[in-house]
Every structure is written in C-alpha cells, then in structure tokens.
Structure 1
Amino acid sequence: MNSYARLWAADPEGWRGAGAAWGGLTGRFDRWGGELATGAGRLRGGWSGDAARAADGRLTGLRVELTSVVPALVEADQVLAELAGRLRAAKARLAAAVEAADRGGLRIDRHGRVSAAPFGALPTAQVGPAVAQVSQAVGAALAIADAADREATRRLVELAGAAGSGWSAEPPPWRPGPDAEPALVRRWWAGLTPAQRRWLVRHEPGRVGALDGVPVADRDQANRLLLADRRAELLAERGRLLTRFPRGPAEVAGLRRVAAALTGLSALTDRLSARETPRAYLLGLRTGGEGRAIVALGNPDRAEHVLTYVPGMTAGLADATGELGRAGRVQARCAALAPGAETAAVLWLDYDAPDFLHEAFRATQARDAGPALHRFQDGLRATHEGPPARQTVLGHSYGSTVVGTTARDHGLATDALVFVGSPGVGVQHAGELRVPAGQVWSSTAPDDPIRLVRPPDDLLRRAASAVPPFGPVGGLVDRPDGGLWFGRDPSDPGFGGRTFGSDRSGHTGYWEADNPALDGMARVVLGR
C-alpha cells in the first residue's frame, strides 16, 4: 500500500522518463532491422544456392524478431507514462488536502492521519467535520496511487512473462470490416487473448490502427509501427513527381504538398518520441492528399474528461503539430483548473479539410466527414475504462461545420459541443444538434472576420443593391436573424446555445494564453 510519506516523495516525472527511455529504443530496433534488410539485399545480388537461401532465411528471421520487439517497447512506455499521469493526479489531490489542512490548522502525520493542532484556527464544533473531510481527501489520493501502482505492476508482469514465452499467437480468421460498429469491434477485441492481440498489432497494424473500437493503447502501438511506411509513401510520391517532364503546375504543387507533408510528419514523429508530458498516442495517420492524423495527448480510455478537437480550413498533415498544440493548450488549462483530474485531448484531423474558399463555401466536405467522426466518438465511448468520461467535441471555423452537421445527421457521443470562430453549424437552433440541453457552447471574437460571412442569398441581395465592399460593415454584422453561411450564428442569442467571451483576437487567437476564450473552453471540458 502507498503511504502518505511515500506518495508525497513519489517522482512521476522519473517514471515518465523511464517509460520514454523504453520507447526511445524503438528507433534503434528499427535501424537494426533496416540494416539487416539492406545487408540481405546486397547478399541476394551476389550469392546464390542453398547456402544463400539459408542465410537469407536466417536474416529474415532475425529481422522479424527485432521488429516484433517494438510493440513491447511501446507498451512499456505506455504503462509507465500512464502510471506517471495517475501519480501526478494523486499528488495534486494530496497537495490540495494538505493546503486545506493548513487553512484549518490541522496536522497530517507521515502515515496520513489527520488531527487537530493545538490552538487551531477552527471553532471546536467544526474540527471534527474538517478532520473527516481532509482525511477523506487524503484517502482518495492514496487510493488513486494504490490503484495505479497495482495496475502498472500487473501490466508489466504480464508483458515480461509474455516476452519469455507465448508472445504472440495467430487469432481466428474473422475480422471486423473498416466501417464496423465500434461496439462490435470492442467485443471482438475483448474476446481475443493478449497473445492474439499482439499478433494482430504486429502483422496487421494497418487494420488495427484504423479500427474504432480497438483500445487506444493498441491502436497507438500499431500506428507507430507504420510511421516508416508512411514516410516511405511520401518519398515514393516525391520520386514519381520528380521524374515527370515537362514539370507543369500540377507537379510543382504536388512537390510542395509532399515537402510540407514530410516536414509535418517529421515534426509529428518528434512529438511522438519526446519525453513531454502528457504522452502522445497515435490513433490514425494517412499520407494521401493533404494528409490526415488523429493524435491524443493523454490516454482517452482512462481520462475523466476527453476533448476531441476538429480543426478547420487548410488543416492537414503539414501543420498537424500546430493544431495538436491548440488541443494541448486547452488540456493544460484544464490541468491548471483541476490539477487532480485527468484530461485527454484528441486532435481529430481525419477528413479532407477545404484548402480554398470556393471549397469552404460548400458543406460537402463537412457532410463527408460525418460518418467517420460519428464512429470515432462512438469508439471512445466503447473503449473507455471505468465510469464514463465527460466527452466534449470542439470545432473551429469549418471544423465547427463538420461537428454540427455530424451531430445533426448522425448524432455524436458527446456531453457537450463547443464552436469557436464558426461560419455556422448546419442548423438554425441548438436543439437540432441532439446533445443535452444547455451543453451547446460558442464563442466568436468581436474582430473575427467570420462574422462577415453571410448566406449566398443575402450576399446576392447586397450585391444587387451595390453595397460598397469596403465601406462600413456595421450593417453586415448586425443582421437581425443572426444568419451565417451555414445557418444561424451559434453565438447569436436566438440560436439557443450558451456563449463564453473572447478578446479581440481575430480568427485564430482563441487559444492565446491571455484570452478568456481559452478558459471558457477548458471549463466546458471540465463540466464547470
């Protein structure tokens, strides 16, 4: 059992560093596997016969053994990172209990026993209830640490035992399809043995990494195995474009896109391998088009509060880490407001975001994204451990249109919706979004140009009236019906939602540290 003194002295960052050290070995094993593959290729070019075939088979076997270790290294990193996160939350709760004891003139001994100090600050009648309240808070903190300690021990013992024997075993042949209901996927995955799951992660990472309903930890292991392949896809595309002559505008644009995606992928890989807190989990990655990524900060399967952030126009793999930073700033503010709670933040960039205004003027891409976002949120519900988390989905700009149309057309497994800088969310009233009453929130900065985006019929009427395009804009902003391009402004009082304030920060400043909008987003995520 964790004592008060032991928890007070615990070093969560030491456990996080130990996990990152295990995870950091994956690059070394990948490099060794690549060197074996290169060496085997050279041998095939100059050696033939039975001995050559035997050597090639042996090198192939060694390479398989090396690469099969990688998921275990990732799993060790996951276990220790999650232990660190839960110890951090337990210590925060313990610190809050000590602060409450100090305010009340109470004492806590090294065993966690609470008593009244001589000449305490509380009246006699209040001492008993105060001692009970602080004792309960200390006990809750110790209980979190105990549970984290036991679980980490169990998982590491199982991992070590599996590495010795029975590491992986081929599962039965049936697999759920890519669009299967997450609840079905979760039942299938739960019915497999740990050895069968590890076999699937190792041999079918593309399938496992993309299936909503597979636990976050397993998807993370699978998708990390695919990072080298995704980089190779981009390099191959660049090679094809470089061989085309004459090189027209399409090829030049393609080369720029691939270069940006490669830069974005490198930045994302660096974040995945960093020792930063919280740990990042890779839940999806594609390189086609502008590229797509789903990345979580913290494990959504274990967090009390889970934010899913959907970015807007021009978002792609090239700036995935920048968009992830926005989600991370909301999470950091949540940690500041509720240091004893666990919050995970997910960047959901698994749709084709508009790149140009003529695309953003249509809801086509928002509608196309709906089934995937709906399925992803259902997957978070299906795989969450313990009591249900409070889930919040946040959309910025065109991302708010994605969120709104998905909620309208398919429903969203969420407890709250948040829209910032929205051009409209596809409905005229919050009641059409099918979420709990009072849990639709919005914020629009006073100087956000999105407030000028008006429905096509309104723009046509104004053009017909020859409204000067660069004249006073007061009449454009203060429309009596609150209409925007994709429906009524969710920040308009008539929409039926709730609002929180924002400074004059333009269209992208909602996440700035001194903007009250950041605090507003965090408070919605926490249910405050």
Structure 2
Amino acid sequence: MDIKTLYDANINNITVAKNAYDTLYSAFGQHIENWQHDVVDRLGHSEWTGTAAGHANTRIQFLGNELQAAKQELGLISKALTDAAEGIAAAQSHLISALDDAKKNKMTVAPDGGITWDKDPNSPNYAGDKAEATAKEIGKRITAALTEADHTDQTINARLGHLATNATNGTGLDSATAKADQTATDALNQVPAAGTDPNSVKAWWNGLTDAQQQHMIQTEHDKVGALDGIPATARHQANLINLQRGKERIQRQLDALGPEPVHNLATYNGQPIKNPDYDDWKQKHDDLEDKMHGIETIEDRLNTPVDADHPPAFLLGFDTKGKGHAIVAVNNPDTADNVSTYVPGTGARLGGSLHSDIERSDLMVASANQATGNSKTTSSITWVGYAAPQSIVPDAAFDIFAKAAENDLHSFETGLRATHEGKPSNNTILGHSYGTTTVGYTLRDKGLPVDNVVLIASPGVGVEHARDLGVDPSHVFAAQGDIDSIKFAPPEDADNFASNLINNAGGSFGFIDEPDHHVAFGRDPSVPQFGAQIIPTSPGTDHSGYWENGSASLIAMGKAIAGKPIS
C-alpha cells in the first residue's frame, strides 16, 4: 500500500458493492421463498407417492439446503465488504490527518513518504527548530496508516478469496461449510474466552481489521487487556482504560466508606471497648488505599519521561480483584531481542512493593544493555499476575499459591512467544523468593517456552536438580546472598523439620559429608548438588539486596538475561 493508493481510495465504491450484494442477498432470499412456495409446498400437497416421488423429494430437499447455504455465503460477502469499508476508511482518515499536519507544519511529503522542509530560519516557509522531531512523528503516523490499510486489505482479501473459492468449486453450497464460515465470521466479533490458547488468540486478532481491533479495545477492554496472545501495544491500550476505570471505582469505594469511625465505644473497668465498625472500616480502607497506591505507582512509571534509565513502559495486565494484579513491561516484549519475566514473591500485589518491583525491571534492562553494549533490546516484565502469599507465616510456608499460578504463568509465557515479531527472542523467566517456587512448579508441571531460568533467593522450586525443570541445566542460574535468611526456610512438611535442620546444619559444620540442603520446597537451588550455574553475590547481600546498583548479582542477572556467560 502506498500513499497515493490509500489517499485516492474511493470508500464509496466499496459501499456501493456492499449494497449491491445486499440487493442480491434480498433477491436470492425471495427466490428461495418462491421456490419453497411454488415447488416444495406444491409437491408436498400433490399426494405424489412412489419410488420416483421419494427420489424427487430427497433431491428437492437437498437443493433447498444448497440454496440456504448459498444465501448464507452471500451474506458473509456483504459483511466482509462492510468491514473493508470501515477498515480502509479508518486508515485513510489517519493518513489524511498526518498529511494535513505535515502541511500545517510547512512540510512536503513525497510519494514514497519522505518528508522535506525549509531549514532556513530567514525563510517565510521555515518549519521551525523542532521540525526534525515533528517530521519523524508524522512519518511514523503515515507508516502506521499505510500498515493499517495493508493489514485490512490482506485480511479482507483472505476472507473474500475464501468465499470466492467456495462459490467456484461448489463447497459453498454445503450447509456444513456455510455454517463453519458463519461461525468464523461471528467469532470475529467475540473476544475468545479466558484461557484460550494464546496462539489461537493471536490468529483471531490477526483476522480482525485495525478498525475492528480498535473497536474491541474500546468496547471489550477488560477482556482484551487480560488476554494472552494479544500484542503488547493493544493490551497496553486496553489496560490504560482498565486502569482509569479501576481508579475511579476504588475512589468511589473509598468515598462510600465515609469518615473514620471512633476506635472505641466506651470503657469498662478502665479498659476500652473496641468499636467493631472501626475494625471493619479500617480493613476495607487500608485495602483500598493500598490498591490506590499501586495504581498511582503504575501511573507514575507509565508517565515517566523516556530516557536511558527509563525506557518506555507497557501495561500488559491490570485488575483490582483480590489483592489486585499488575503486569508491567519495560520496553515492548514483542519487538525486543531479549525478554525476561520477573516473578516477585511474598507480598506481591497491586499495592505493596510494586514500585520497587518495577524499578527492578528497569535495573535489569539497564544491566542487560550493559552486557550487550546496547547492541540488543531487552524487555523486562514485572509479572504480578498471580495471588502471591501475603505473609511469611503462615502463607509462604505452603505451596498452594505456586500451584494456583501455574496455568496463568504458562499462558502468559506462551503468549509472549505467540505475539513476538520477527526472529524468536531469547526469553528468561526470573523469580525472587517465593516467586522462584511459582516459577519452578510451573516449569515442573506445565513447562515454559523459555531459554533461561534465574532463581534468586529461593526457598525451593519443587525439584531436586536443575535438569528436572525441563531447561538445559547450563541455562539455569541461582543466587543466594551471604546473609540471606532464606537458607533457613523450614520445610513445608513439619514432620521433616528436625531432620532437615540437622541435615543442613551438619553439612554447614562438616558433620555430614553430603547434606541434601533441603529448604521449604525442595533442594536449595544455590548449592552445587542442584546443578545450576551460581550467580555471584556481593558481600552483605540480604534477601532484598540482589538489585543494588553495581552489585555482582545485578551484573550477572543482566548477563544471564542477555544470553551472555555470567563469568
């Protein structure tokens, strides 16, 4: 698609063709009604019987089915032409808007899209000192409009080509074929159900015109924003709407709580009698305030000016259910060379430590950039897409949270593969603390389409050896700081606590030659027996210190994410 073709496109001609097919559809429907009345009904009342009558009635019924199928196929052509007109009209509007802005800014757009302007400050046609930046922006809009039109052209061409083939070879007269075609067309207007295979979701999305995609984003934003297999930029647009709606909803709920009730109702024998209404109010208030804090954290990061330390961010997931969920990508994972998903652990939620979790993604992108000399693009995604344990005791002592997250994490990673453009990216799954348990269980039970696994401060990942994760052990990395208390995480099975403690202590003090080094959910991944590559840590690294600027662990994480040797 070129500028002239799109600019000169006569949308009215498509509409006229669509109207002609509507006329044909109506006439054909009337023909079928006449056929039913003048032939089928008359023969049915003729009292004609016998073998010949049986054959004739069978053939007539078969012909009637063919006519109904043909009518259904004609209706699908009309729908395709409607979608074509809307899609091309939208792209044409975007192109004209960009060309108009070029003209307003005293710029000339060549047929090939090149933009020129007068650079002489003394000229009456001088385009200004910001002309270059303006030209780049307009150029991007022109390219986007042409891409939009081309996508619509290819999508509609495929649909019409399929229907034309059916008409040519007669398959369109088959009722099963017509029904399948109708189902496929109807599906274009329905967002796939949650849990649909991301590759199928991507195929559905690609079958929509850009105008239809934008319609889905605006009207079905809650579904589109949460659906794996939808490209990152589209999910981002949908989730910006979800974020605003969520913020408004949380504020309404806060307002509805009313003022803070009194803490105590009275005193009895010198002791305060607590007001149960206050406790209920405070629990709801604190939960809502926490979510609002998370929303504001996301807004702050999305609105941060892009610079070397803060690449563009994309909101890939958002909701306020339960403790709330958020998925924030630093850089676009669909176009990045390296893609890492960071799964935080205990306490992860929409509020809480979301700010520091996103900040870690920024740091890991910077570290990976340093490892590649900025020759590759890296995206790091903070994935708070599961209900993480909210307390060390008792929540984090159980693996139910990790098990419950398996399907969602598997779907998300599969979606990253489905939507990535061009050459497959080098993908890493990285967990911290209980997040490593979530990662490990998913790798063990579902498998993940990743190239590297990074386990930071792990209480165990459900397996005894790196090879049991389904990834090349040489691409499994683990770290544990010298003063990280995670090494003392007791086993989930309380019956084994004493033996586990004796075993580990015996290994530490040399009483046992080959301790099993079990922690809460299996063998400690940072010991040699597990078989992972050990990520170095700086002296004094505690449970949250792995992302300190300049630390050995952050440098090594960047290398692992970039697919580089860590030493």
Give TM-score, length-normalised by structure 1: 0.65
2:155 equivalent to 1:155: no
The SS at the match of 1:346 is: strand
2:212 equivalent to 1:196: yes
- Residue 459 of structure 1 is matched in structure 2 by 497
Instruction: Mark the CA change 1:205 to 1:427 in structure 2 (over 3 Å): closer, same or farther.
Output: same
- Residue 265 of structure 1 is matched in structure 2 by 295
The separation in 2 between residues aligned to 1:423 and 1:477, in whole angstroms, is 21
Displacement of 1:251 in angstroms is 3.3
- Residue 177 of structure 1 is matched in structure 2 by 193
Letter in 2 for 1:351: Y
Query: Which of 264, 283, 289 does residue 253 from structure 1 map onto?
Result: 283
The separation in 1 between residues aligned to 2:403 and 2:514, in whole angstroms, is 27
Instruction: Mark the CA change 1:320 to 1:156 in structure 2 (over 3 Å): closer, same or farther.
Output: farther
Gaps of 5+ in 1: 1-67, 77-147, 163-169
Letter in 1 for 2:526: S
The separation in 1 between residues aligned to 2:379 and 2:478, in whole angstroms, is 21
Contact 2:316/2:327 (CA < 8 Å) preserved in 1? yes
Displacement of 1:309 in angstroms is 0.2
2:308 equivalent to 1:312: no
Contact 2:327/2:382 (CA < 8 Å) preserved in 1? yes
Displacement of 1:274 in angstroms is 2.2
Contact 2:188/2:207 (CA < 8 Å) preserved in 1? no
- Residue 385 of structure 2 is matched in structure 1 by 350
Q: How does 1:50-449 map to 2 (within 5 A)?
A: 153-155=142-144, 172-242=188-258, 246-276=276-306, 277-318=310-351, 319-338=353-372, 339-356=374-391, 357-449=393-485
Displacement of 1:208 in angstroms is 0.8
Deviations 1:44-79 (A, max 9, x none): xxxxxxxxxxxxxxxxxxxxxxxx9xxx9xxx9xxx
Moved more, 197-206 or 257-266: 257-266
CA-atom RMSD in angstroms: 3.2
Give TM-score, length-normalised by structure 2: 0.61
Contact 2:484/2:542 (CA < 8 Å) preserved in 1? yes
Contact 1:308/1:347 (CA < 8 Å) preserved in 2? yes
Contact 1:329/1:511 (CA < 8 Å) preserved in 2? yes
Moved more, 500-509 or 301-310: 500-509
The separation in 2 between residues aligned to 1:367 and 1:324, in whole angstroms, is 24
The separation in 1 between residues aligned to 2:346 and 2:139, in whole angstroms, is 45
Gaps of 5+ in 2: 1-89, 99-136, 152-185, 262-274
Identical pairs, percent = 35
The separation in 2 between residues aligned to 1:151 and 1:349, in whole angstroms, is 33
Instruction: Mark the CA change 1:191 to 1:365 in structure 2 (over 3 Å): closer, same or farther.
Output: same
Displacement of 1:477 in angstroms is 12
The separation in 1 between residues aligned to 2:441 and 2:191, in whole angstroms, is 31
Deviations 1:101-153 (A, max 9, x none): xxxxxxxxxxxxxxxxxxxxxxxxxxxxxxxxxxxxxxxxxxxxxxx998775
Contact 1:233/1:287 (CA < 8 Å) preserved in 2? no
Letter in 2 for 1:316: R
Displacement of 1:453 in angstroms is 1.2
Displacement of 1:436 in angstroms is 2.5
Letter in 1 for 2:243: L
Deviations 1:222-281 (A, max 9, x none): 111122211122223334544888424343222112112212211211211222241110
Contact 2:222/2:239 (CA < 8 Å) preserved in 1? yes
Moved more, 436-445 or 211-220: 436-445
The separation in 1 between residues aligned to 2:410 and 2:495, in whole angstroms, is 31
Displacement of 1:173 in angstroms is 3.0
The SS at the match of 1:403 is: helix
Number of equivalences = 373
The separation in 1 between residues aligned to 2:203 and 2:519, in whole angstroms, is 43
The SS at the match of 1:438 is: helix
Contact 2:191/2:223 (CA < 8 Å) preserved in 1? no
Displacement of 1:199 in angstroms is 0.7
The separation in 2 between residues aligned to 1:282 and 1:458, in whole angstroms, is 43
Contact 1:312/1:399 (CA < 8 Å) preserved in 2? yes
Displacement of 1:422 in angstroms is 0.5
